[in-house]
Amino acid sequence: MEWTKLRHVSYQRWGHTANVFLRRNAIYLFGGYYNSVYFNDIQKYDITYESLQIVKSTGDSPSPRYSHGSLNISDMLFVFGGYCRDLSCNDIYNFNPTSR
């Protein structure tokens, strides 16, 4: 068994989540915190091309947060809780990467 460093991607933050979507050959990253900025964006890491891109989404998106939980169920991303600034969040959202 061996580690391999993949191509460098510019993604500096902590407290985010990463979920594998095998059928899409991708890892979706959500939220996090870096340099006094809280995020609620979704980024897609393409495993084949080793590239990262911001995903444009519509609908009622979660507030910026970090230290939340997330899970991929049936190709839908569920995001729960975390910290919204310095307050705890007690909400749940789902994101469907296949919807348009």
- Per residue in 67-95, pLDDT (tens digit) is 999 999 999 999 999 999 889 999 999 99
- Per residue in 20-57, pLDDT (tens digit) is 999 999 999 999 999 999 999 999 999 999 999 999 99
Task: Give the pLDDT confidence score for residue 100 in this predicted structure.
Answer: 57
Classify residue 4: in a domain, yes or no: no
Instruction: Tell me if residue 98 falls in helix, strand or coil.
Output: coil
Classify residue 3: in a domain, yes or no: no
DSSP letter string, 16-82: -EEEEEGGGTEEEEEEEEETTEEEEEEEEEETTTTEEEEEP--SSPPPS-BS-EEEEETTEEEEE--
In angstroms, the CA 80 to CA 78 distance is 7
Whose structure tokens read 């891109």?
53
In angstroms, the CA 68 to CA 40 distance is 11
Task: Give the pLDDT confidence score for residue 7 in this predicted structure.
Answer: 76
Classify residue 5: in a domain, yes or no: no
Distance set, CA 45 to CA 51, 66, 77 (Å):
6, 19, 14
Looking at the 3D structure of the chain, how many domains does it have?
1
Task: Give the pLDDT confidence score for residue 11 in this predicted structure.
Answer: 79
Q: Which domain holds residue 26?
A: 17-95
Classify residue 83: in a domain, yes or no: yes
